């Protein structure tokens, strides 16, 4: 990767250099963690305020219109809604810090966080498999489009990626499911409890397609950017094959934009995961949020939303960190 | 980087002229159907439940015998109206903000750029869940408010990037030299020059709103009136084996509505880009 960057290390002792590098890394890590924590806190505050400042009594929302005033007062006491706002907020922030977000209203005795942690596994495996598949498919498509193998048909790759990027997941996922599950019977039907690995693979494949289209377009543009770079000419002069030049030399130099686009697509990925969990009736964070919304289980809803926000911000910071690690030009 | 990737990804130049009329034709057809009120999405004919397409019901019937043509026409017209409002508000807020930030430079510019990054990458879906969960019965106004919360960011970012190129050009300097106030420079001299680039974003933003609205009502967060493209899809998924036409109609409606909004945005682009406005 040092090909792309400059190697003007300041003169000095080896040990001092290493220590300076360590402090720099530590500063970056602390900075990123602080930023992530701030974003999560902002989201959590928004959740907090939305439930308390918008018109309507949360207790009435939870218990329904027929509930008696005593029942509502009891619930308000339980959720601490009868305290002054600043005290509620302090309690909420302390709960965030100690990971104690209250109990489920609907299932007394089960902490909200436990239910969220139960649901994280399936969603995390769905999303991470989708990111892997999307990156693999997208990068392969971009290399195929940049290389000479397809001849005049190279334009097809671009056109397919553009068309796919413009097609909403909501439109093609049900149709593909209908065609492959209901007609051809090659993948399990939605709601099949024995779907297992096949169901997971199909769902994450669907989720990966829009991501793959974006990755393909951005990495194609990045590959075109470095296409005239001297180090590629050197690699070719040394007798490297087209595949070697593209995969080993050009791709690492253009990995930055690819990681960035994956990072910016994470939010869409999360929304897509909720839609797909609903479509396939899979267990996960999305279904938990929908369930908590339908039954007005406010503590679980708060916990699930804050937790998915934290996951999202963490993944995004990870993408930024990977970008900085592989590309010396971004490091400051 | 992303905007350049987008412009490079556009293969084959702008859309053909006859394609530009297509989005308008679709919206007009839907509006005509809604205004003529020959079909209503609220009239149910239980004996026609899940009936396949026929002459009386060209797109077939859905759950409880609702006429799918009526439902799709009403739903896509409402979605397009909502999307147009959200995109316009995003444009009116975002464009001057981005252009102003680039003109002011310094800390303000960095702050706006950072805010755009944060808001743009933020999952709108979570935000919508937060706001909608606190409302007793969500309506389209609530949905619109939620979308506006994040819709300004891409406009501001585009305007910021474009103004960075424009701000050192002679006509801006000349305007400043004759004593035009910064606000007037932004509104009168910079924003008009951004319109071509931003028109594409208008279409993309509107398309995104249509899809998000359908997705939210597909998972059960939609407006309470139940007239949404997501509801058609929801019915289609639950009756996938019995009545596949419902699913196909819903998916096609989402696709056509969002793609034609995108095409509408692009249709404006080349005309503005080719003949730069002089002021």
Q: How far apart are CA B203 and CA B265, in angstroms?
A: 4
Block mean pLDDT (10 aa), chain B, length 279: 38 52 79 76 78 82 83 89 93 90 86 83 76 77 88 90 86 88 85 82 90 89 83 87 87 90 75 46
What pairs with residue A103 in β-bridges? A111
Residues of A in contact with B124 (CB under 8 A): 267, 271
Over chain A, what is the mean pLDDT?
Answer: 80
Cα distance from A12 to chain B (closest Cα, Å)?
34
**Averaged pLDDT, A265-291:** 85
Contact A301 B135 (CB under 8 A): no
| Whether B114 contacts B175, CB under 8 Å | no
- Tokens, residue A180: 């492959």
CB-CB contact of B59 with B112 (8 Å): no
User: A181, A143, A174, A180: which is closest to A161 by C-alpha?
Assistant: A143
The domain segmentation of chain B, as residue ranges, is 19-37+66-266
Q: Do A261 and B122 touch (CB under 8 A)?
A: no
Residues of A in contact with B212 (CB under 8 A): 271
Please give the DSSP secondary-structure letter assigned to residue A1: -
Residues of B in contact with A48 (CB under 8 A): none
The CA distance from B64 to the nearest CA of chain A, in Å, is: 21
DSSP B215-252: HHHHTT-S-TT--SHHHHHHHHHHTTTT-HHHHHHHHH
A301-310 pLDDT, tens digit each: 888 888 888 8
Cβ neighbours of residue B233 closer than 8 Å, sequence gap 6 or more: A170, A174, B214, B218, B247, B250, B251, B254
Helix axes A112-146, A255-264, angle to 10 degrees: 140
* ipTM of the prediction: 0.78
Select B19-37+66-266's CATH number: 3.30.1950.10, 1.10.3720.10, 3.40.50.620, 1.10.357.10: 1.10.3720.10
- Model pLDDT for residues A78-111, shown as the tens digit of each residue: 777 777 888 888 888 888 887 777 777 777 777 8
Under 8 Å between Cβ of B191 and B185: no
The confidence score (pLDDT) of residue B7 equals 39
- The encoded tokens of residue A312 equal 């999202």
Residue-level pLDDT at A68: 78
Average pLDDT over residues A291-298: 80
Q: List chain A residues with CB under 8 Å of B1.
A: 218, 257, 260
Helical pair B191-218 and B229-238, crossing angle rounded to 10 deg: 30
Per-residue confidence (pLDDT) for residue B16, from 0 to 100 = 55
Query: Whole-angstrom Cα distance, residue B201 to residue A140?
Result: 28
Tokens standing for residue A272: 């897509």
Put simply, whether the predicted model's pTM sits higher than 0.90 gets the answer: no
Q: Using CA atoms in the order B138, B211, A279, A123, what is the torsion angle rounded to 10 degrees?
A: -90
- Specify which residues B61 forms β-bridges with: B67
B240, two tokens: 């996938």
């Amino acid at each position: 990767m040092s090909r792309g960057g400059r190697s003007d290390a300041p003169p000095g002792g080896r040990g001092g250099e290493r220590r300076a590098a360590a402090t720099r890394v530590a500063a970056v890590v602390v900075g990123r963690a602080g930023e992530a924590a701030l974003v999560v806190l902002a989201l959590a505050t928004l959740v907090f305020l939305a439930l308390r400042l918008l018109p309507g009594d949360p207790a009435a929302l939870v218990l329904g219109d027929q509930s008696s005033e005593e029942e509502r007062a009891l619930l308000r006491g339980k959720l601490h809604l009868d305290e002054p706002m600043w005290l509620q907020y302090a309690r909420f922030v302390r709960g965030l810090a100690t990971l104690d977000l209250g109990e489920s209203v609907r299932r007394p005795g089960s902490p909200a966080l436990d239910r969220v942690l139960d649901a994280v596994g399936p969603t995390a495996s769905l999303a991470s498999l989708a990111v892997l598949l999307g990156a693999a498919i997208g990068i392969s498509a971009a290399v195929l489009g940049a290389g000479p193998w397809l001849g005049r048909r190279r334009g097809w790759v671009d056109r397919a990626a553009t068309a796919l990027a413009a097609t909403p997941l909501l439109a093609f996922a049900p149709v593909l499911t209908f065609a492959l599950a209901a007609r051809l019977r090659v993948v399990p039907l939605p709601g099949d409890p024995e779907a297992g690995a096949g169901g997971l693979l199909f769902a994450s494949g669907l989720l990966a397609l829009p991501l793959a289209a974006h990755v393909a377009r951005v990495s194609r543009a990045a590959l075109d950017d470095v296409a005239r770079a001297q180090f590629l000419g050197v690699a070719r002069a040394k007798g490297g094959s087209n595949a070697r030049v593209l995969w080993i030399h050009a791709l690492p130099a253009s990995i930055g934009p690819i990681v960035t686009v994956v990072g910016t697509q994470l939010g869409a990925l999360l929304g897509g995961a909720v839609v797909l969990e609903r479509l396939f009736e899979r267990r996960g964070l999305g279904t938990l949020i929908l369930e908590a919304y339908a039954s007005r289980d406010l503590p679980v809803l708060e916990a699930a939303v804050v937790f998915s926000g934290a996951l999202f911000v963490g993944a995004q910071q990870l993408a930024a960190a990977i970008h900085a690690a592989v590309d010396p030009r971004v490091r400051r | 980087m992303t905007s350049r990737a987008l412009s490079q990804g556009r293969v084959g130049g702008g859309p053909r002229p006859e394609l530009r009329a297509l989005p308008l034709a679709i919206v007009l057809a839907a509006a005509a159907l809604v205004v003529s009120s020959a079909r209503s999405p609220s009239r149910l004919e239980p004996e026609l439940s899940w009936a396949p397409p026929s002459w009386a019901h060209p797109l077939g019937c859905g759950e409880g015998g609702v006429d799918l043509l009526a439902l799709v026409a009403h739903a896509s017209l409402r979605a397009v109206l909502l999307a147009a409002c959200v995109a316009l508000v995003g444009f009116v807020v975002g464009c001057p903000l981005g252009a102003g930030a680039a003109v002011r430079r310094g800390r303000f510019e960095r702050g706006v750029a950072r805010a755009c990054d944060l808001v743009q990458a933020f999952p709108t879906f979570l935000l919508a869940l937060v706001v909608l969960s606190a409302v007793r019965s969500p309506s389209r106004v609530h949905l619109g408010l939620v979308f506006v919360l994040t819709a300004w960011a891409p406009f501001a970012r585009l305007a910021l990037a474009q103004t960075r190129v424009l701000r050192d050009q002679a006509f801006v300097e000349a305007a400043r030299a004759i004593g035009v106030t910064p606000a007037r420079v932004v509104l009168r001299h910079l924003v008009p020059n951004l319109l071509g680039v931003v028109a594409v974003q208008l279409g993309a933003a509107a398309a995104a709103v249509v899809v998000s609205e359908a997705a939210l009502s597909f998972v059960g967060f939609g407006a309470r009136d139940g007239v949404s493209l997501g509801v058609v899809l929801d019915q289609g998924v639950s009756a996938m084996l019995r009545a596949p036409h419902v699913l196909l109609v819903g998916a096609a409606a989402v696709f056509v509505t969002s793609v034609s909004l995108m095409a509408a945005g692009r249709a404006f682009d080349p005309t503005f880009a080719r003949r730069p406005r002089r002021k």
